[in-house]
Amino acid sequence: MDEVIAHAVADLKAYTEGGVTTFIVENYGDAPFSRGKVDGVTVSAMTLAAVRLKTEFPAAKMGINVLRNDASAAMSIATVVGAEFIRVNVHVGAVLADQGIVEGNAYHTLRLRKNLNSNVLIYADVDVKHSARLGDYSIMAQAADAIERGLADAIIISGSRTGEPVDMRQLKELRTAFPKGQIIVGSGANSKNVKSLLRYADGVIVGTALKSRGIISAAVDPGRVRDFVKAAGH
């Protein structure tokens, strides 16, 4: 854990020095991921890491994502450590992923938030990466259900895999359909396209493009962060 936390602290230091003000803690190194509920040790480890990061960088806003889809653990960790939001890969509906069939449980997530008297926001993926839709359940229908029935505070649209760009046509259609909704791009953002993405999205989640040589498992490159933030107009 000392090594894991030291790596996380170094990455967040590079992000914040480059101008990033919001970050997500997730167990990306846990592959292969659990389909649903994670083991207690994962919750403990992520809570420890989140507390350390919150202590080191108190001004930065924090999100929690417990892969592959343990929204209850994410909501619990976020509430305890004072994070602002969680990311839920499957909030409504179901998908076929490398873990098998992954199902959303908005009912339980929303009631847990209420029972915890929590203000943590829910950012819900639609047509999440590394998955395939089950049945004729379009991305527009998923988005409508996530917002109107799953009561998500924001929706996330991604490419097909980590680092892959979004379908601009779909992003534009989502913005037209939900002009006042919070829409976030979840993959594929880089210094060259971020300005165009932000014409339709309220924010972007970026990892790969800010890593050394664009390799997702590498350390964050401060120079790439600065270039990205400048390109985004911040």
94-106 pLDDT, tens digit per residue, is 999 999 999 999 9
What pLDDT sits at residue 79?
A: 98
Please give the average per-residue pLDDT across 43-68, as a whole number: 97
pTM, rounded to two decimals: 0.94
SS3 177: helix
The answer to whether 152 and 146 have CB atoms below 8 angstroms apart is yes
pLDDT of residue 104: 95
Please give the distance of CA 42 from its chain centroid, rounded to a whole number: 17
Give the mean pLDDT of the chain: 95
Residue 70: pLDDT band (50, 70, 90) is very high
Q: Which helix (H) or strand (E) holds 139?
A: helix 139-148
Range of the domain at 38: 2-232
Q: Is the pLDDT of residue 234 over 70?
A: no
Using DSSP bridges, classify how beta strands 183-185 and 203-204 pair: parallel, antiparallel or unpaired: parallel
SS3 sequence, 35-94? CCCCCHHHHHHHHHHHHHHHHHCCCCEEEEECCCCCHHHHHHHHHHHCCCEEEECCCCCE
Total structural domains in the chain? 1
Does the pLDDT value for residue 71 go beyond 80? yes
pLDDT tier for residue 117 given thresholds of 50, 70 and 90: very high
Closest CA to 4 of 37, 40, 58, 53: 53
CATH of the domain at 210: 3.20.20.70
Q: Cβ atoms within 10 A of the Cβ of 113, count?
A: 22
Residue-by-residue DSSP string for 144-158: HHHHHTS--SEEEE-
Q: What share of the chain in percent tops pLDDT 70?
A: 100
Which residue matches tokens 């999440």?
Answer: 128
β-pair partners for 62: 23
Give the pLDDT confidence score for residue 136 in this predicted structure: 85
